[in-house]
Structure 1
Amino acid sequence: MALPPTTPLTERLSERGKDIAVVLAVTVVVVGGTLWSMRGKSETFGQATLGWALIAVGCGALYFRRRWPVAVALVTLAVCVVYYPLSVYDGLVMVTFVVALYTAAAEGRFAAAVALGIGVMLMIVYGEMRQAPGRREVDDASFMMLAGWLLSILVLARAQRTRAAYLEEVRARARAAEREQEARAQQSATEERLRIAREVHDVLGHSISLINVQSSAALHKLGKKRTAADPAVALAGAEEALEAVKSTSKDALRELRSTLGMLREAGEAAPTAPASGLARLPELAERARSAGLDVRIATQGAARELPPPLDLAAYRIVQESLTNVTRHARASAATITLDYGADDLRLRVEDDGLGAPDGIGPGSGIRGMAERAKAFGGELTTENTADGFRVTARLPFTTSDTAQGAQ
């Protein structure tokens, strides 16, 4: 909830500055009104001195009106009670009490302000009752006007108090909304960073592992050239391995460009290379075969088209599994099984390698695969088997739409 772009001048002033401004404004009004009422009238030096002293006390007390609202209202009321019977002039000292009364109500001391207003009216009634017949100081019309004036002041102060509370609530909601928006933005940035980190890890980890195996094979065959009876055969094998390195590095660059394309600016062209998915499993298997791993793909159930995020997640899980097999398992064969059920897709990648050593926790690759499966409401398990190692993942179809942005 946004606040108005402009702020009133009174809100931009400091608290002390506003208090001084009110004191000066009221002093000008009271002194000016008193000087105006002095025309054609006179009083003793003592009366004048005491009267101006009371005016100074009443106006000066307003500086503390927000710190002690009820006490200042009582002080200004006492000043009025002493001033008007004493002074010959009908000055505007009453203004100090009105301002103090308004402040008391606006600062949340509404009950005390109402009690003071009623007390003023009762004092006026008592004073008029003590006057001699026919010598009233406040007639009925003036009395009603004064009562209406005080009532209006209280109502206005109450409205101001309500408005201030509403504005504070609006500001609090705006601050809370801003904090929530910042938290969401930070969470989104963190999730996006982790997602891209998984993509880069899977793309580079798989391809570089294959390149390492293939280049090692090329070096091994070139070393055999020196002792081989037919060096041409060794060179042909090395050339085949280097061709595989070239093909794998080309695929790695393509996938890396596609992944980094997620970071492109708005309006830039999207990558034209086909997105990775289960349809490209044969290419993935062929690259693994070029590294000496016999990969087979088996499909169970009726194959179906998957949403792109789910399709990519399944592909990355298989890719990372083959990367681990190539890098760590010392396996000669691996089997990829795609089981299309009614509600989910189940993946299995099994190899005939050494398996995972006991007591060794999962690496970042397995954690990344588990995070991908969990983002779709599925799960991933890993276990040693009698013949090697198995990775099993379940990816539900029903929640894939809700995880469109997770991958």
Structure 2
Amino acid sequence: PVGAFWASMAATPLTVLFGGSMGDWPWPPAAFVCHLTVLTVVAIRTRPRTAAYMWAVTGAYGFLGEVVFGPGHYYGTNTGPMMVVSALFLLVVAVWHTRREARQEVTAQQTVTAHERSRRTLLEERTNIARELHDVVAHHMSVVAIQAEAAPYRVENPPPELERAFATIRENAVAALTELRRVLGVVRAEDYEAPEAPQPTLADLEALLANVRDAGLDVEKAVTGAARELPPGVELSAYRIVQEALSNSLRHAPGASARVEVAYVLGGLGLRIVNGPPPAPDLVKPSPGAGHGITGMRERVSMLNGEMTAGPAQDGGYEVTVFLPVTTTSEDGS
């Protein structure tokens, strides 16, 4: 673009000299339109500052042409019209540049805001999960330490080796509990209050289903496999996943029915929560949520190295499928 501008500037006097035109000076009609077009294109493709410099050079050329040749050599000068018309064109282009940059800045800011919102959501979910796990693990470690301290008193005349073993267990449990509180305690807010009741498990699903039924959701539960006690983190995460999935069904598919399937399989726990489409989607509007439900479920599954799929079902409803692996150990602890 800059080269085109200088080519237009060089061609304008040559057109006048070799064309022999006695029209307006220093821009004959064809050169006037050509140079104005070049100025506009250059302004579009370069920065506004560059266009302003070129407009100033154009004015200097017109002023020099009038001083050197004077109006007596030609019928008249058109430097004034060139400067006014080109200034209007450049002003329009500058406004267009400003609006385009503003739109780009707004788009970039919206992208950054969405990214930060998503990142903040992940951090909030991880913080909530860490709080819950801290409460679960801290409770069990405290029980281990108390039982290790009380165990020698349950045996009459325990041997010294047994007392030392229980003392070592208690010391390790207390040390682990202290380290756990030091590492995970930083995620607690100052106004956070630990729950007084134990964290929920899969044994509390019936109470949860009763609550959502009272809220208007027709839900049924199916359990396959031999029910067994799972690690506290798996139990808590499974409960929270079912709770969030049913909450999403209430919000986004009011009036629909849901089904919760719990499968105790070899090597882990399978969950499937599916709801049908709302019976009258045009009459009952879904209730908007915070949009963090699926994110929180994925974070819980990812923390336990599990797998999760969530998406629309074939019948128009929604389905969430989760597998949480559970490491099994033999009786000898190997």
**TM-score bucket (shorter structure):** 0.3 to 0.5
- The structure with the largest alpha-carbon Rg is 1
Give the structure, 1 or 2, with the largest relative contact order (CA under 8 Å, sep 6 or more). Answer: 2
TM-score with structure 2 length normalisation? Answer: 0.38
TM-score with structure 1 length normalisation? Answer: 0.31
